[in-house]
Structure 1
Amino acid sequence: MLRSINEESSFENNIKEAINAIKSNEYDLARKYLYAGMIENDHSAEVYNLLGIISEYKRDESMACTYYRAAYVFDPTYKPADKNLERVTSFFYIFNKTSIDYGDTIEEECEKSCFAEYSGMQIGNLKNIQVDRKSAC
C-alpha cells in the first residue's frame, strides 16, 4: 500500500506516542507502543533508546545501559542513545529528567569549513573560515 508523503507512518506515530507516555509516567503504555513499533522495525535505535529511558526512570541503570548500547549497535550515528549512554556511564551520574535525550528534537549540527595555510617552512596550519552565523560552534 502506498502512502502519501505527508501521511505519517505507524512506526513514527508509535514512537511519538511512546515518548508522550514516558513523559506522562505511563511506562507500561509506552512499552506497548514500542513493542508495536518493533513489529515494523525491530532494529530501530529509537526503540532501544526509549526502552533505555524507561529503565532509567525505573532506576535500573544497568538495563538502561544495555538498551542504550543496543541502540548504538543498531545505529552508531544515532546521537540521543550515545548521549544517554555517556551520561549514564559517567562517574558522576545522578538521575536528572531534564538531561535525558528522547530523540524528539532536531539537533542542529555546525559545520566548520577549514583550509590549510602554509607558512614559509612548508608547515601547514588548519584555519577556520568565518561563517556569518551567531553560533557557539
Structure 2
Amino acid sequence: MFNHKIERDGLSILCKDVRYLMENKEYDICQERITEAMKVYPHAPQPHNLMGILLEKNGEHGNAMKHFRAAWALDPTYIPARRNMERFCNLYPKGACAFDESDCRKEDKRTRYEAVYDEYGVGHMVRKELA
C-alpha cells in the first residue's frame, strides 16, 4: 500500500515535470527523465504515454504510436493513452495531448457509434460525437 502511493506520487510528479519541460522545449532533458522512469516503473503506462507525446512532437509518428499502444497494453484503463492514440490516428488531430488524467476530464462529450453502409452493402461503424 505504501509503495503504491509512492509510485503514484512519483508518476504524478513525472507527468507535471515532463509537461513543463515540453512547454519549454527542453526535449533532451525530457527524454532522459522519461527513459529513467521507464526503468524505475517498468509496469506503469505513464512513461510510455509521455514518450509517445515527446516522439510525436519530434515528428516520429510511428514510434510515438508504439509507445501509446505499449501504455494501453500495460493498463487498458489508462485513458490518456487511449485519447492520444485516437488523437494522433486522425489525419487532422484536434485538441491537446493528454499528459495525465487531468487532461481527460475536460472532455465531457458522449460518443455513440452508428452503422453506415457503403455502396456494396458493407457496414462500417462510424463514431458520432454528441455535444
Pick aligned residue for 2:97 from 100, 103, 106:
100
Structure 1 pair 109–24 and aligned structure 2 pair: CA distance change class (3 A): closer
Count of equivalent residues: 106
The structure whose residues are more often helix, as a share, is 2
Residue 88 of structure 1 aligns to a residue whose secondary structure is: helix
Name the CA distance, whole Å, in 2 between partners of 1:104 and 1:33. 19
CA distance in structure 2 between the partners assigned to 1:78 and 1:16 by the alignment:
17
Q: Counterpart in 1 of 2:67?
A: 67
More strand by share: 2
Secondary structure in 2 matching 1:69? helix
Q: CA RMSD in A?
A: 3.0
When normalised by structure 1's length, the TM-score is 0.63
Aligned residue for 2:22, secondary structure, equals helix
The answer as to whether partners of 1:52 and 1:63 remain within 8 angstroms in 2 is: yes
Q: Deviations over 1:1-47 (max 9, x none)?
A: x79x89x8444333321221112111111112112322321121111
Between 34-43 and 55-64, the greater mean CA deviation after superposition: 34-43
Contact 2:49 2:99 in 1 (8 A): yes
String of CA shifts for 1:85-127, please: whole Å, max 9, x gaps: 011112x234x6x5211115162798xxxxxxxxxxxxxxxxx
Residue identity over aligned pairs, in percent, reads 25
Task: Indicate the residue corresponding to 1:16 in structure 2.
Answer: 16
Q: Which residue of 1 aligns with 2:32?
A: 32
Alignment of 1:1-137 (within 5 A): 9-90=9-90, 92-94=91-93, 98-103=95-100, 105=102, 107=105
CA distance in 2, matches of 1:10, 1:80: 17
Q: Name which one, 1 or 2, has greater alpha-carbon Rg.
A: 1
The gaps in structure 2 that reach 5 residues or longer are 109-129
Instruction: Give the CA deviation at 1:50.
Output: 0.5
